[in-house]
Amino acid sequence: MHDHAPHDLPPATTIHPLIARLETELGWPRLASAHDLAEFLSRPGAHCLFIPGDPRRNLETADAAVILPELRLAFQNAFDCAVIDDAIEADLRETHRALKTPGLLFFRGPDFLGAIEKVRDWPDYLTRITHILSLQAA
């Protein structure tokens, strides 16, 4: 019997290198608990939470991991960013009705402003983020 499974795929527990880069090179925190999330969102200012989803099943995840730092630069660091860990991803997506991944969830302090799901065209990101950041928290 032959094993037809690809041998070069990393184990499911391995973090995709482009997501790991957000943490190691850019210093973005990985939020793995409700406490981590609350602590991050308690900071003043605007925040973007990157919900990667499963990069083994969703090829857009790697694209989003490259696009988000560029968006942050385009908006002159108007928001800080964090990576959401699998441990709290499902609850966060459900709470904010951002069910598709990859997802970008925007907050001002602890207040949810809006989300962008899936990978978009650059002008669409610029328009949507400008609108989201202009919103007042409900």
On whether residue 4 sits in a domain, the answer given is: no
On whether residue 8 sits in a domain, the answer given is: no
- Kindly report, residue by residue over 33-62, the tens digit of the pLDDT: 999 999 999 999 999 999 999 888 889 999
On whether residue 11 sits in a domain, the answer given is: no
Res 26 pLDDT > 80: yes
Measure the N-to-C terminal CA separation of the chain; round to a whole number of Å. Answer: 60
Look at residue 126 in the predicted model and tell me its pLDDT.
98
Query: Can you give the residue range of the structural domain that contains 44?
Result: 17-134
On whether residue 21 sits in a domain, the answer given is: yes
On whether residue 116 sits in a domain, the answer given is: yes
On whether residue 82 sits in a domain, the answer given is: yes
On whether residue 92 sits in a domain, the answer given is: yes
On whether residue 2 sits in a domain, the answer given is: no
Residue that has been written with the tokens 């391995």 in this structure? 14
Res 122 pLDDT > 80: yes
Q: Comparing 10-19, 78-87, 101-110, which segment has the lowest mean pLDDT?
A: 10-19
Counting the structural domains of the chain, the total is: 1
Q: What is the CATH number of the domain that holds 49?
A: 3.40.30.10
Neighbours of 136 (CB within 10 A): 7
